[in-house]
Chain A
Amino acid sequence: MSDTAKLVFGAVLGALYLVIGLLQLLGAVVGPIPGLDTFYLTGNPFSGFVLLVVGTVFAVGARKLFAGSGEGAIFVSIGVLFSVAFGLVELLALLATGLDAYLIGEWAEWSAADAVNPLLYLAVLGAAGFLAWCRAFFRGPGTA
C-alpha cells in the first residue's frame, strides 16, 4: 500500500473517530442527542475520550503524511492497532454481557444491539487497516 492510501485511510478514520468522540462527549453532557441513534452513542464520557485519543493518533499520522513525513505511516499503523485493541475490548464486553444474560435467565431480553458502541463498529475499519499494513509493520523494519 502506498503512503497516499495510508494518508486517506488515516484522514478518514481520524475524522470519524474525532467526530463520533465529540458527539459521545456531548451526549454525556446534554443527554441523548435526537436523530443520532444510528451512531449507538452511549453517553459514556470515558469512551468518548478514548475515541478522541484514537482519532488524534490517526489525524496526526495523516497530517504528517500530508506534510511528506514518513513518520506519519507509523502513527497510522499504531492508530490501527489501538482501533483493533479497543474494538476487541468492546467485543469481549459484548460477549460477556450476552453470557451473563444467559446465566441469569434473561437471554430472551438480551439484544446484541444494546451493547454496540462506536469503539466496536469503528474497529471493523481498523481491522481492515490491520490486515493491510500492520502484519507487515510488525514483521520488521523496512517492510511496513
Chain B
Amino acid sequence: MTGIRIALAGNPNVGKTTLFNALTGSRQHVGNWPGVTVEKKTGRITRNGHTVEVIDLPGTYSLTACSADEVVARDYILDEKPDVVVQVVDATNLERNLYLTTQLAELKTPIVIALNMADMAEAQGDPIDREKLSEFLEIPVVRTVGTRGDGLDALLDAAIREAETSPHHEHTVGYGSEAETMIATLTDALSADRDLAGRYPLRWLAVRLLEGDENVLSRLRKGPASARVEEILSRIDTDEYEALMADKRYEAISAVLPQVRKANPREMSPSDMVDRVVTDRYLGIPIFLALMWGAFELTFTVATPFMTTIDGGVAWLAELVAGSIEPAWLASLLGDGIIGGVGSVLIFLPNIFLLFLILAVLEDSGYLARAAFIMDRPLYALGLPGKSFVPMLVGFGCNVPAIMATRSIEGEKDRLLTILVNPFMSCSARLPVYILFAGVFFPEQAGSVVFFLYVLGIAVAIASAKLFRSTILPGEASPFIMEMPPYRIPTATTALLHMWTRGSMYVRKAGTIILTGVLVVWILASFPFGVEYGGAGSFAGMIGHAIEPLVAPLGFDWKVAVALIFGFIAKEIVVGSLGTLYGTGEETLPSALLADPGLSAATALALMVFVLLYTPCVAALGVIRKETGSWKWTGFSVAYGLVVAWLLAFAVGHAAGLFMGGI
C-alpha cells in the first residue's frame, strides 16, 4: 500500500490539531477550548514508503452529530471511509472519551487510539495501563504527548499497520436482551437493502436507528428496507432506547476503567481552586472585565515606545522622499499616498502583535473557556446561547474565523443570531483607529477608552441579540454544556507562534488591500489635474462633500466621511485614508489630527464608536453570505450595523460634548 488516509477524530479539545500540526508540520490554529476546529484540514507526510494523508476532523462527542462541525466529522468517517481512524483520547478524561470509541468500534472501522496528554494523567497520579487497555478494546493504544511531539512515530507505525490489516474489531457493547432482540429484528429488515449493507455494518445501522438517528434514517429512505424499518420504529420509543444504550456503553466503560487506570483519590486540583474564584456567580463577570482592562492597558502602554520608533522611521522616510524625489507628483504619491497611508497603519503593528500575544496567553491558559462559561447566564437570560460567546471572543481577533466558528452552535436560529451580532465584537482591524484617536485625544486614559469600546461592542451585541430574539428570530436559546479544559501554563513558543500567525496577516494586509486602498484614495485626492491635493475640488473632496450631510450630525467632516467609505473594504484603511488625505508628509498623523479645528475629543469618541459598530468589512460580509446562504441576511447585517452605529455615535458624541465641548 502506498497511499493511506488517516482521520484524526475525537472529542473536542483533546489535542487533535496539536497532533495534526506535529505530524504534518502544519501550523493550524490550536486553542485550549472546545470548538477551535470547525472544518476538516488535510496534511501529507511520507513514512516508510507510504504517502500518508492526515485529516484533522472537528471534535465530536459521539457519532450522533448535533452541530455543523460535528456533522463534518461524522460524515467524513461514514462516507469517506478513511483507511484508519486515529481517535485522539484525553488521558485525563478517559471515561467520556471512550464513549466515542464504543461507537467507532461498532462501525468496524480500523481504529488506533492516541492516548494523548498522558503526561498530565501521570502527573495527576492517574497512570493508564496502555497495554491492558489495548487488550480490552482490541485496538492499538499509543501513548502521545502532542505538545512535545512524543509518540508520533509509534502512532504513525501503528496506524499504517492497522490500515494494512483487514477489519477485525468484533468487540461490541451488549445492550441487554430486549435491545438486542430489536437490533436483530432491524438487522434482518435492513439486510433487504443490499446497497446499504455493502456500505455500513448492519448492526451499527440497527443500533443507530434504535437510538433515533435521523441521519441514518435519511440514508435508508426510498430504499427497499425503508418501509419495514419505519414500521418497526413506529412501535417503539427511540428516546428510551437511546438512554438505555448510552447507559450500557457507560456500564461497559466502567467495567474496563478500574482495570486499566489507577484513579488517585485527591482533593481539589489547582484548576478547580482557580475556578472556584474566576467562575464565581457574582465575581466571575467583574473579574473577566478586570482582566480585559489589564489586557488593553498593556496593549496600549507597552506598545508605545515601539510605536514611537516606527513613527520616527515613517516620518524620516516621508521627509527623505519629500526632499529628494522629483517630479512633485511622484513625491506626493510616495510621501502622501504610500508612506502617509500605509505608514500610518504600520505604526500600530506593536499594538496588534501585543493584543494577539495576550489573547493567545489567555486562550492557551484555558481562561477564555471560563469566560464563555461565566457569560452563559446573562447571555441565556437574553436569549443568546452561551456557546455563542466562544465565536464572539474569537471575534476580538478577526470576525471572519469568528463567524465560521459559529458552526459549533446547534440550532439554526441560534447560529444565525450569533452570526448577526458577531460583527459588533471589535476585531483587531479596528484597533488602529482606537489607538490613534484615543492616543491623540485621551492621552492619559487611552487604554481605558479602548477597553470601554470593547465592552460597548459586547453590550451592543448582547442587546441586539435580545432584540432579534424578541422580534425576527423568536425562540428559546439552546442550553449550553461546555467542558472546562484544565488550566495550562502557556508555552512561549505556542503563544509567540499564535501571535505571529495572526499578526503577520495584518502585515500582509498592509502590503496588499491597505496599499491598494490608500493608492485609490491618493488618486481621488489628486485628481482632476490641477486641484489642490485633498482639496474640496478633488474627487475625494466631491465624494466626501456629497456624503458629509449624512455624517455631519455626528461631527464628522468630509475627510472622515471618505475614510469611513474606504473602511468598508478593511477597517484599517480608515487610518490609512486619513493618513493619505491629511497628506501628513513630514508631520505625523496624530499631530495633523490634533491641529484640525474640526476634530474634538467628543468627535473622536463618536468616530471610534461609529467605526466599532458600522458595517462589517468586505471579507466578513463574504463569510456572512456563505454561512447564512442568504443575501437578505447579509444586507440586513450591513443596514442594521449602519443604523446602530449612527444612533450610538450620535448619542455618545453629543453626551461627551456636554462634558468636554465640541460637536
Which residue numbers of A lie inside 8 Å of B, CB to CB?
42, 44-47, 49-50, 52-54, 56-57, 60, 71, 74-75, 77-78, 82, 85-86, 89-90, 92-93, 96-97, 99-100, 102-104, 137-138, 140-142, 144
Contacts of B447 in A (CB 8 A): 46
- State whether B277 touches A46 (Cβ < 8 A): no
Complex CA distance for A82 and B274, rounded to whole angstroms:
11
Report if A141-B297 is in contact (Cβ < 8 Å); known contacts: A53-B290, A56-B286, A104-B308: no
**Chain A residues positioned under 8 Å from B444 (CB to CB):** 42, 44
Closest to A142 in B: B267
A100 touches B297 (CB 8 A): no
Interface of A is mostly: helix
Stretch at the interface among B299-307, B376-384, B566-574, B641-649: B299-307
B309→A103 contact, CB < 8 A: yes
Contact A75:B290 (CB < 8 A) given known A100-B304, A103-B305? no
Contact A89/B294 with A75-B277, A78-B274, A78-B277 known, Cβ cut-off 8 Å: yes
Q: Are B273 and A77 in contact (CB under 8 A)?
A: yes
Within 8 A of A (CB), among B246-293: 266-270, 273-274, 276-278, 280, 283, 286-287, 289-290, 293
A99 touching B305, Cβ below 8 Å: yes
Q: Give the residue of A52, A100, A144 whose beta carbon is less than 8 angstroms from that of B308.
A: A100
* Bound-state Cα–Cα, A105 to B334, Å: 28
Chain B interface (Cβ < 8 Å from any Cβ of A):
266-270, 273-274, 276-278, 280, 283, 286-287, 289-290, 293-294, 297-298, 301-305, 308-309, 312, 444-445, 447-448, 451-452
Chain B residues with CB under 8 Å of A97's CB are 301, 304
- The total of Cβ contacts below 8 Å across the A-B interface reads 91
Contacts A/B (CB < 8 Å), 13 sampled: A44-B445, A46-B293, A46-B445, A52-B286, A53-B289, A89-B294, A93-B301, A93-B302, A96-B302, A97-B301, A137-B270, A138-B270, A141-B267
| Alpha-carbon separation in the docked complex, A103 to B305 (Å) | 7
Which A residue sits closest to B293, measured CB to CB?
A: A46
B297:A93 contact, CB within 8 angstroms: yes
> In the bound complex, do residue A141 and residue B308 qualify as a contact, i.e. CB atoms below 8 Å apart?
no
Q: Are A57 and B294 in contact (CB under 8 A)?
A: no
Residue in chain B with minimal CB distance to A85 = B294
Given contacts A89-B298, A102-B305, 5 further A-B contacts (CB under 8 A): A56-B286, A71-B276, A74-B273, A92-B298, A137-B270
Query: Chain A CB within 10 Å — which of B267, B270, B309, B444 has the most?
Result: B270
CA distance A92 to B300 in the complex (A): 11
Instruction: Write out the residue numbers on chain B whose beta carbons fall within 8 Å of the beta carbon of A140.
Output: 270
Q: How far is the CA of A96 from the CA of B304 in the complex (A)?
A: 7
Q: Are B290 and A82 in contact (CB under 8 A)?
A: yes
Query: Which of A53, A54, A86 gathers the greatest number of chain B CB atoms within 10 Å?
Result: A53
Chain B residues near A45 (CB-CB < 8 A): 448
- Contacts A71-B276, A100-B304, A103-B305; is A57 near B283 (CB within 8 Å)? yes
Query: What chain A residues lie within 8 Å of B309 (beta carbons)?
Result: 103
B290/A74 in contact, CB under 8 A: no
Q: How far is the CA of A11 from the CA of B452 in the complex (A)?
A: 31
Q: Which of B276, B286, B303, B308 contacts A103 (CB 8 A)?
A: B308
CB contact between B269 and one of A49, A57, A75, A141 (< 8 Å): that residue: A141
Q: Chain B residues near A77 (CB, 8 Å)? A: 273
Of A46, A71, A85, A103, the residue contacting B451 (CB under 8 A) is A46
Contacts of B445 in A (CB 8 A): 44, 46
Contact A46 B276 (CB under 8 A): no
What CA separation (Å) do A102 and B448 show in the bound complex? 24
Complex: how many Å from CA A142 to CA B277?
Answer: 18
A141 and B302 contacting across the interface, CB-CB below 8 Å: no
B residues within 8 A CB of A137?
270, 273
B448→A57 contact, CB < 8 A: no
In the complex, chain A residues whose CB is within 8 Å of the CB of B451? 46
A53 touches which one: B276, B286, B305, B448 (CB < 8 A)?
B286
